[in-house]
Structure 1
């Protein structure tokens, strides 16, 4: 139920749900789960309006604040205001809710105990030892030949365990969000760059400080590594789990590395109180921002990562890929394994194509923007 506010004789419905101090700013959360950053001055006035103690303020200032900010953003609404304000949606091509927020919150509250510091430290330490031991003993599994070869049982096992792993990962984020913000959103699935993905709505982290945001960012991997540890232990008696474990470890590594918009990336962003570190690096390159040590360090890391990815892609295109094509062409009898291997190989080439397409698009856009800025600068100098 919304709160009724009367300001200089005019009625408004207040959708303010909470006001939280976040680092050097304030976040206002509305009852329909939208979030807005406010300065201390604005929050002070908002609190006065909420508590009906604004009468000593300049009337013109109050009216402008209400009409141009609060009403415009939908934080305050006139009784006849029927506008619909959309919440921030996942950055996916399409998405569908699997578990509603009410169900997610009911489950998440039962998992708070996993965030007890000593227990978490013990579980992570145990996971590091078990994962490291497995990698050393099975280092030969990390090859294209092994990853691209499946039986029907292998495929079924990988699909089922991967779905469970992804769901547990998202519950990690949701549980941490509920633990620190008191509320989590829905869990769903969608498509990102032609790849099916799961997501958890943790928009309530906007009400948290950077330390707690950092925990939420890394909690998906924390839950996932606990799950992975259990699977690795069980694999001692059931060797067919090795295929899933290999793919899980590769995916986990890429999620941990702070590459663009993955868990490791948001972990670094929240830890350093940045909004978008890669955008900051681009701003430095465009000379819109002075470079900091973090900007330079991440810029170098990103470039080295890009070079490594390019090396792996070129190695596949010139070595592993053609070799697998020759092997498939030499097969005389078609089997399930052959068909699946061919399908995976085709998807690999499609993924590589879209990688180069995205890279070319990003580089072209950067060059065009830079060229336009230089032309504008030269034009201003002539004037």
Structure 2
């Protein structure tokens, strides 16, 4: 049928025991097994859907009736053609494209040469080697000057935005080097984190090794900035506080970006290294299944992870426990501790600000910085709660309206 011929089928390299595939349609991507792909190809080869369903049921040797095949097509394949389905989970609470793909095509084409193997090897070795030496030998490594001015904060924000944009260009250029198209660069809110992102969803068609290169490409491009900062630092006699502070900022950014629990680069690196798409969802499936089994409740559908190879299964078991423990720590300890600290300190800081303003005095920048940063983070927590609860509220309101 013409409706199904636009669905592209690519082999998905993963740790699953059986063959897995990616179905691509309208910029959305869906994981499928060999049985679904066989059904799809039957639909693509027939002019009439009813005839295709009957043909597939007959060739299944009695495994599936025409009614069962029809129900599956209606539930899983027709929504793909219609542009629905669950192929692209919503990663961000808010997202907006800033630069369409066509705006960065020429630049990503030109930068693709940076993924020549010897260039990557030399850059990463020198940058990380010098960075390690900096960490081991720098004096007053973690000292932060309390007298940072508003100009310093503004400069730091500009630096972080520029570094992040280069990071995203790295992902786009890696896509070009690996032979797939990239989408645009945008801005989004992930939980309480404002982030830039690049649409690299087409990398699911690539082998795992190439997907890993794309996932690491952002940090790799930032290694060029890191190398420049290290040259600046040592050229100044290892005494430049601005260079030291920016180097520390970049390293902290690397730690956050490569965290395998938040859905940043580290998460996708872990997903491809383990060969498990939808890593977070799969880990929740496993924890829920184990909990039901422990309570001797109906187990439901067998978790995807139990169909992996033995080594991947053990690694995923460790990851599933670790990621759920980490997210529990973040949501039930780190965020409540911030709110408690905010409730304890903010009233006094606000009172100090009012006193300064009431007496016609300019408040210290450190006081303004603390107040503004706390209010911004509080606003992001509020936005996260609203964004996460909105689908639940819509679902509840919809169920009441029936």
Counterpart of 1:26 in 2: which secondary structure?
strand
Asked if structure 1 preserves the Cα contact closer than 8 Å seen for 2:43 and 2:53, the reply is: no
Q: Which residue of the partner structure matches residue 28 of structure 1?
A: 23
Q: Which residue of the partner structure matches residue 80 of structure 1?
A: none
The runs of 5 or more residues in structure 1 that have no matched partner are 6-11, 76-82, 362-383
Q: Which residue of the partner structure matches residue 117 of structure 1?
A: 117
1:339 maps onto 2:368 in alignment: yes
Counterpart of 1:28 in 2: which secondary structure?
strand
The separation in 1 between residues aligned to 2:198 and 2:337, in whole angstroms, is 34
Asked if structure 2 preserves the Cα contact closer than 8 Å seen for 1:217 and 1:267, the reply is: yes
Asked if structure 2 preserves the Cα contact closer than 8 Å seen for 1:181 and 1:204, the reply is: no
Superimposed CA distance per residue, residues 319-355 of structure 1 (whole angstroms, 9 cap, x where no aligned partner)? xx97xx79x9699862334422442355567778999
Asked if structure 2 preserves the Cα contact closer than 8 Å seen for 1:152 and 1:337, the reply is: no
Counterpart of 2:78 in 1: which secondary structure?
helix
Q: Which residue of the partner structure matches residue 293 of structure 1?
A: 314
Q: Which residue of the partner structure matches residue 373 of structure 1?
A: none
The separation in 2 between residues aligned to 1:346 and 1:59, in whole angstroms, is 58
CA 205–307 in structure 1, closer or farther in 2 if over 3 Å, else same: same
**How high is the TM-score relative to the length of structure 2?**
0.66
Q: Give 1:46 shift.
A: 4.6
CA 25–250 in structure 1, closer or farther in 2 if over 3 Å, else same: same
What does 1:160-179 align with in structure 2 at a 5 Å threshold?
Answer: 160-179=158-177
Counterpart of 1:19 in 2: which secondary structure?
strand
The separation in 2 between residues aligned to 1:14 and 1:301, in whole angstroms, is 40
Q: Give 1:300 shift.
A: 5.6
The separation in 2 between residues aligned to 1:50 and 1:308, in whole angstroms, is 47
The separation in 1 between residues aligned to 2:339 and 2:147, in whole angstroms, is 16
The separation in 1 between residues aligned to 2:326 and 2:96, in whole angstroms, is 36
CA 52–59 in structure 1, closer or farther in 2 if over 3 Å, else same: closer
What does 1:1-383 align with in structure 2 at a 5 Å threshold?
Answer: 12-13=2-3, 16=6, 18-23=8-13, 24-30=19-25, 32-44=26-38, 46-47=40-41, 60-61=54-55, 68=74, 72-75=78-81, 88=88, 90-138=90-138, 140-142=140-142, 146=145, 150-235=148-233, 236-237=235-236, 239-274=241-276, 275-277=278-280, 278-280=283-285, 282-283=287-288, 284-287=290-293, 289=303, 292-299=313-320, 301-302=322-323, 303=325, 334-347=363-376
**How high is the TM-score relative to the length of structure 1?**
0.69
Deviates more, 1:89-98 or 1:43-52: 43-52
RMSD over aligned Cα, in angstroms?
4.5
Q: Give 1:184 shift.
A: 0.6
The separation in 2 between residues aligned to 1:15 and 1:267, in whole angstroms, is 32
